[in-house]
Amino acid sequence: MFLTVSGLTKIYGDKKVVDNVSFEAEKGSITCILGPSGSGKTTILRCLGGFENPESGNVIIDNREILSLSPEERPISTVFQSYGLFPHKSVIENTIYGLKFKKVTRKEAIKEGQEILEIVGLKGYDNRRINQLSGGEQQRVALARSLVVKPNLLLLDEPFSNLDAKLKLVMREEIQKIQKTFNITTIFVTHDQEDAFSVADQIILMNKGRIEQISSPMDIYNYPKGEFPLQFIGRSNIKSTNEKVEFVRPEEIKLHDNPKENTMEGIIEKRVFKGAIVEYHISTKDANLIAIELSKDKVYNEGSIVYLEFEYKVIM
Ligand SMILES: Nc1ncnc2c1ncn2[C@@H]1O[C@H](COP(=O)(O)OP(=O)(O)OP(=O)(O)O)[C@@H](O)[C@H]1O
């Protein structure tokens, strides 16, 4: 295994903000650490990058224990939420900053910097100053700067936080492309599950410093292990009794005009148009449910009687 983290624990005051966290990542994979605010995501990255000292744990990269190394000695690049760029320096100076500490001539550094800038879509931006760039462009310079040193492990903290919806889609693809081109193992922190679903090979779901589930995006959505993953990931209609918790995702509820065997009658209380999909809030004799259908299909009006076809799944 390329990266092995075992028993990582970080305490602030009397609070374990990272509590016995263990996971592995294969070479060239993207791992996404997902979880609510304050669940310890950034602290894990900071411990890996060497900006915090964990109380206990082991981190092995490519068969080498790295926790005793300084941040500069670790084969790791980190892109922080705040980017950490030098605002008055040019794009190229920021990009090649990390090469200062390597045995590379300035001429070679500039050539390598320009190649990376072209990859992140910033060809020709060399002499622009950071404070003359948009948020998305700055984010790409920060990425270029971390890639130029060819890290074994790339750590990204909320890399899309300052981007609008369109640019976010472009950047998601760009990061995936760059990461595959260089075969860089990447760990990426977000609280946005769509980011995690779109780019991750594996998702680590955190809650209060602990790992709740490690799974592929599809498995975490389809087979949540326990109530927290179910509540946090996607939306669902939940039926909870003393013995078990069952759920049905809104898109698993099919609406019909007429009753069929095993359908349940309901009335559409509210309809929310969301572009590609329409969300219905439906009351039945047993429960209030949310269903979604494609808006290109039949659209029901509020107050309509509908017949719901669905099955609950039991959580593991
Ligand atoms: N230097 C520090 N001193 C004391 N407490 C801290 C420190 N840094 C973080 N914490 C606390 O540790 C907990 C975890 O913080 P962390 O930044 O890792 O969470 P996060 O999951 O990344 O949150 P967010 O999504 O809001 O960035 C929080 O309760 C935070 O207040």
The Å distance, Cα 267 to ligand 1 centre, comes to: 44
The Å distance, Cα 38 to ligand 1 centre, comes to: 5
Which pLDDT score, from 0 to 100, does residue 52 have?
A: 95
Write down how long the chain is: 316
Nearest to 257, CA basis, from 191, 306, 311, 315: 306
Position in ligand 1 atom list of the atom nearest CA 39: 21
CA distance 31 to 215: 10
Which pLDDT score, from 0 to 100, does residue 176 have?
A: 84
Nearest CA to ligand 1 atom 26: 37
The Å distance, Cα 154 to ligand 1 centre, comes to: 20
The Å distance, Cα 36 to ligand 1 centre, comes to: 11
pLDDT, tens digit (0-9, with 9 covering 90-100), for 203-261? 999 999 999 999 999 999 999 999 999 999 999 999 988 889 999 999 999 999 999 99
Which pLDDT score, from 0 to 100, does residue 232 have?
A: 94
According to DSSP H, which parts of the chain are helical?
A: 41-49, 91-95, 106-119, 135-147, 165-182, 193-199, 217-222, 227-232
Which pLDDT score, from 0 to 100, does residue 81 have?
A: 72
Distances (CA, A) of 244 to 169, 230, 262: 38, 13, 22
Distances (CA, A) of 223 to 178, 293, 312: 31, 22, 13
CA distance 82 to 1: 31
Place of tokens 């808006």: 295
Taking 70 as the pLDDT cut, the residues of the chain under it are: 162
Which pLDDT score, from 0 to 100, does residue 205 have?
A: 97
Which pLDDT score, from 0 to 100, does residue 182 have?
A: 83
For the chain, list the domains and their CATH numbers: 3-228 (3.40.50.300), 235-314 (2.40.50.140)
Nearest CA to ligand 1 atom 17: 42
Q: Which amino acid type is present at position 312?
A: Y
Q: What is the pTM of this model?
A: 0.88
Which pLDDT score, from 0 to 100, does residue 139 have?
A: 84
Which pLDDT score, from 0 to 100, does residue 169 have?
A: 84
